[in-house]
Amino acid sequence: MTEYTCIDSFCGAEGLGLGLQQAGFRILSSFDIDPLCIETIRKNKKYFDHPAITADIADMLNGVLLRNCHLKRGELFLLAGGPPCQGFSVQRRGEDADARNELVLKYGRLVDEIFPKYFVMENVTGLAGKRGKTILQQLIEEVESIGYHVHYKLLDAQDFGVPQRRKRYIIIGQRADIGDNYRYPQPVSARCTVRDAIGYLPEPPQDGSDHPDFSLHRRDRLSALNLERIRAIKEGQGRDDLPDALLAACHRVDSSLIGFRSVYGRMSWDDVAPTITAGFDSFTRGKFGHPTQDRSISLREGALLQTFPADFQFVGNKVEIARQIGNAVPPLMAKFIGRSIIDSYREAIGEHVI
């Protein structure tokens, strides 16, 4: 019986790894350059028992990762990872050149060294845009030259039961000696909403402390002006619905010209959430206000909208935890991707797939 082994590179808070585990993978090892992410993984012993180390991908090349995992080239089933994507983000300003973009090509080198049956890479929509398409094409050409069939497709997390709009490119490599039959998961018919995900939570304490029954479920302190702003808008509304007197000076130009339509916004109970970003802990940065309560959503609510378990723990201060949550692959989406990889393999070797 095939063992679906996996190494998770650029693992972050292990959202991708958690979903892959749920799909049937066994994680042998994971690494990330951020020590707080590694502490988060180690703190969640209920979910993870694999070694997780703080390391840059450069530290894992030249056979180091293979030796650490006691593997030979070609033995691993799946190499997973999401190289940091800020360099490709359409929201980033500045020069197109960004040192972080080179991490995608180092990931390609790691694929070559490990030579897994499959690899998966997640990245932002900008990867196939002006900033990222050259790097993406180079990666594809390099891994095809060593014996992979490569598929890439823009998936939206809300199509897979995640209560959030979140479009990301999912790049799948299938080793040519296995076949070229990979198919992406089919969207599910049922949609999960903000109400489904966080509607059961009680209101957090007024004093800013954690709710006694839900860790990280606490309210952020709002300035008097921001409290006025959030009280002036209703469920689903944003900065376009604020009275002129409450608009920031930089927002007095119509949003159709400068964008940022969703800042100072509230979520809608019966819709999906906007993309949970690293800045979701403040409604000044997006439609991150609670649908009806006069506050930004809590860290716990953000984690639930990302489909982390309600008891999943995170290490760090508020900003650091929000970054870990916002940068993660939603575990539920990762589970669908993992199942699609296993199904394609079983089909390729002639096993019956239900």
Q: How far apart are CA 40 and CA 146, in angstroms?
A: 35
Q: Are 115 and 72 in contact (CB under 8 A)?
A: no
Confirm if 296 and 288 have CB atoms less than 8 A apart. yes
Element of type H or E holding 196? helix 194-198
CA distances for 119 relative to 20, 55, 56, 116, 160, angstroms:
12, 20, 19, 7, 20
Counting every residue, how long is the chain?
Answer: 354
From 37, 85, 192, 250, active-site residue: 85
CB under 8 Å to 70, separation ≥6 — which residues? Answer: none
How far apart CA 235 and CA 266 sit, in angstroms, is: 5
Report how far apart, in Å, the C-alpha atoms of 327 and of each of 142, 152, 198, 306 are: 27, 20, 20, 10
DSSP-H helix ranges across 44-101: 57-60, 64-68
**85 a catalytic residue:** yes
Q: How far is it, in rounded angstroms, from Cα 260 to Cα 119?
A: 35
User: Where are the extended beta strands (E) located within the chain?
Assistant: 5-9, 26-32, 52-54, 78-81, 118-124, 148-156, 167-175
Decide: helix, strand or coil at residue 14.
coil
Strands 118-124 and 167-175: antiparallel
| Summary count for the chain: helices (H), strands (E) | 12, 7
Distance CA 18, CA 202 (A): 26
53 SS3 class? strand
Which residues belong to the active site? Answer: 85
